Amino acid sequence: PLDERLTETVEFLGRTYQKYALENGVYFAPIDEASRPYSKGVALEEVSRLELMHSVLRKVFDDRLIFPPVNSPRRILDCGCGSGDWAVDVARRFPDCEVLGIDISPHIMPEDGPNNLEFQIDDLNGRFTFPSDYFDLVHSQMVAGGIHSTRWRSYIQDMIRVLRPGGWCQMVEVYFNAQSDNGTLERDHALSEWSREYLDTMHRQKDPRAAMHLASWMRSEGFTEVESRLLTLPMCAWPSEAREQGIGTANSENVAQLLYSLGLYPLIQLRGLELEPHITSREASYGKNLQQQQTEQRSSSPTNIHPSIMLIKPPRLASCARILHQVTRRNAPFTSRTFSSLNEPNTSPPLYQKIRQEFKSAMRSGDKPRLNALRSIMTANTNAAKADRPITNDVQLINLIRNLYRMSSEAATQAKDNDRPELAAQEEEQMEIYSNLIANSGVETLDEAKLKALVGDAVAASKSAGTVAKKLMGDVMKRLSGAFEGKDVDMKLVARLVQEMAV
């Protein structure tokens, strides 16, 4: 069943947003389903804009949906599918292929589609729970606005893990940095100001320049045969060549809506700008300049943004599947419209409520290290709910945090081994935050000395009762359950102590 909190919406200056996405800093674009014209009469419906963006990109890519040599795919994953246009087109092109589209919002997904297409609700900032070596192609397009800046590398690692050896990853991102080839787009131009304000605002939590780094990130994480292309996307009909002029004409309407849709919440709510001078009048000013460029400066005033296309092939090695061993999601039959909710449990322990409050404080203060640590906890809590193992008390939550501590410790060690001290320092900073959260949780922690004493007594009692060796572990754990109840216990340490004392 779909978690009701994912369907909750809020209104902001006449636009509809997903409440969960805003509160968790996931995505700041609207999810309007009904047309809402603004003063100039242009529809602001986000679904229509996404469909228009899809059609523009198809023109740019000469109607190619898939660039790598994928002939008879069995399974395709579309990350951040949005309104589902790409996923629907691919499912129709490959009717024997299972296509899965995932997105944070259920509001803009299509009501129907091909029988080989499934939609799933999920936050891409959480680690993938799909089986390893599962997909033939992973597609990720224009997700930079929803991916946390610290998530990109693990996001790429997840793609490698779920791709079968020899599979492909195709990524398309747009760097929203408006430029003119002849320099006529000056710094004080409305469009230049929008780009500057938007990039600076989003940089606090996202990486709006991700398109420029994808190739290097992917190579460093183990992808091979990486092909990167930087294309110019005309924002109006300035080119003289018919094909480019057609793209610019189609994109001009998309850009007019995009400036408002993407910029409204970040610039007004997050950056604190005023609506009239910074959004409405600037957008109108841009519209005027757009008309001038189309009619007067077609050959001399090229204005572009740059979509970056990455085609990446993972190594044909088993090691590419070793990033995450635990798989919690089973393969499910594909239907035309199936939603699975991958959100937090409805009942959260007191410590988790405290963590959510600290997360909001960290967002206000811009404390990135703390934001990253708290966000990891919230994501792991969501993942536990996915696997039908919801966190319901503080002890379980502490165990979850302790596991994140171990993961950071292992990552720090690996970074040091690879001569990456800056990455090791980041992981160690995360470890310190996790340790402080555990220490200040209000839950009693049983240290190693106390555990040795308790385990020693339980092992001795179990042996005296005649418990056979192969049942000793279970019997000892049963005897210790009362002593451990309501306390913070490192169960891996307990298991090791039992094994050592059982000899």
List beta partners, residue 103: 121
Across 92-162, the runs of DSSP E, i.e. the strands, are: 98-103, 117-121, 135-141
C-alpha 467, offset from chain centre:
49
Q: Please state whether beta strands 163-180 and 303-313 pair in parallel, antiparallel, or not at all (unpaired).
A: antiparallel
Tokens 């991916």, residue located:
147
Phi then psi for residue 161, to 5 deg, are -65, -40
Is 159:226 a contact under the CB 8 Å cutoff?
no
> What homologous superfamily does CATH list for 4-321?
Vaccinia Virus protein VP39 (3.40.50.150)
Q: Where in the chain is the domain with CATH 3.40.50.150?
A: 4-321
Is 264:12 a contact under the CB 8 Å cutoff?
yes
| Cα–Cα distance measured from residue 361 to residue 372, given in angstroms and rounded to the nearest whole number | 13
Q: Which two tokens stand for residue 243?
A: 């094909």
Q: Which two tokens stand for residue 8?
A: 């909750």
Say what the pTM is: 0.58
Q: Where in the chain is the domain with CATH 1.10.1510.10?
A: 350-439
Q: Which residues contact 456 (CB under 8 A, 6 or more apart)?
A: 501
Burial class (CB in 10 A: 0-12, 13-18, 19+), 503: exposed
pLDDT, one tens digit for every residue, the chain (503 residues):
556 777 888 888 888 899 989 988 898 998 875 433 333 333 336 777 788 888 888 888 888 999 888 888 999 999 999 889 999 999 999 999 999 999 998 877 877 788 899 988 888 998 898 888 899 999 999 999 999 988 999 999 999 999 998 899 999 998 877 777 666 667 777 777 888 888 888 887 898 888 888 888 888 888 888 888 888 777 776 667 888 888 888 887 777 777 888 888 988 888 887 765 444 433 444 343 434 433 433 333 445 554 544 444 333 222 222 112 222 222 222 222 222 333 344 457 888 888 888 887 876 677 878 877 887 788 777 767 655 678 888 888 988 898 888 878 887 887 788 777 887 888 899 899 999 999 888 888 888 899 999 999 999 999 999 888 878 888 888 898 888 888 888 888 888 898 889 87
Maximum alpha-carbon separation in the chain: 96
| Cα–Cα distance measured from residue 328 to residue 50, given in angstroms and rounded to the nearest whole number | 32
Report the half-sphere exposure of 138 (CA within 13 A, side-chain side).
29
In order, the DSSP letters of 188-234 are TSHHHHHHHHHHHHHTTTB-TTGGGTHHHHHHHTT-EEEEEEE--EE
CB count in 10 Å sphere of residue 97: 20
3-state secondary structure of 468: coil
In CATH terms, the fold of domain 350-439 is Hypothetical Protein Yqey; Chain: A; domain1 (1.10.1510)
